[in-house]
Amino acid sequence: MSHYCELLARKAGLSPDRCDLIRTASPMHDIGKIGTPDHVLLKPGKFTQEEFGVIAQHAEIGYRILSGSDAELLKVAAVIAYTHHERFDGTGYPRGLQGDTIPIEGRIAAIADAFDALTTRRVYKPAFDLSHAIELMLKHRNEHFDPELLDVFVASSDELARIHKQYADPVNPNPISAL
């Protein structure tokens, strides 16, 4: 996810130092999940409304963990943790921010996190191929994501494929052999 963030930040014209800072800070985006019970976090199916409320707290928990430091890295990480689930149309959480009121770091992380989640195998779903993930994200272009940033991201498909290939989790067809 961090390399997707760095790529998008660079393609969006942010300074090299800011791109590096976003790459370094973005892996902390879900640190607040440390406060989420495993029975919710690892649930293989759809969340109930109550469970969604529990999981949604991770953005604020992450912000509280990371904020308060004078270190620029932790300041950026706190912003990303707090805003990566905000949606461009204002329907996200935790604050329902809309459009450009969402810091660019959060808008970048939202795109990178969604792409990474779609293209990575999870306990509740298989990995989608890159083109299918992009297709799904484009369906929510003006709702979930900053449309201009998403267009920049999609236009970088060759680089996305390179990053995905380089950092994808290996799939072991026989998990018993790993023991």
Q: Could you list the active site residues?
A: 33
pLDDT digits (tens, 9 = 90+) for 2-22: 999 999 999 999 999 999 999
pLDDT digits (tens, 9 = 90+) for 75-96: 999 999 999 999 999 999 999 9
Q: Bridge partners of 122?
A: 125
Token digits of residue 100: 């450009």
3-state secondary structure of 117: helix
Alpha carbon of 126 to those of 22, 44, 119, 122, 133: distances in Å?
Answer: 28, 12, 8, 6, 12
Q: 2-168 falls under which CATH superfamily? A: Hypothetical protein af1432 (1.10.3210.10)
All structural domains of the chain with their residue ranges: 2-168
pLDDT digits (tens, 9 = 90+) for 109-167: 999 999 999 999 877 788 999 999 999 999 999 999 999 999 999 999 999 999 999 98
pLDDT digits (tens, 9 = 90+) for 20-41: 999 999 999 999 999 999 999 8
Q: Which residues contact 42 (CB under 8 A, 6 or more apart)?
A: 123
Q: In 3D, which of 53, 48, 3, 43 has the Cα closest to residue 23? A: 3
Alpha carbon of 106 to those of 34, 95, 146: distances in Å?
Answer: 20, 13, 10
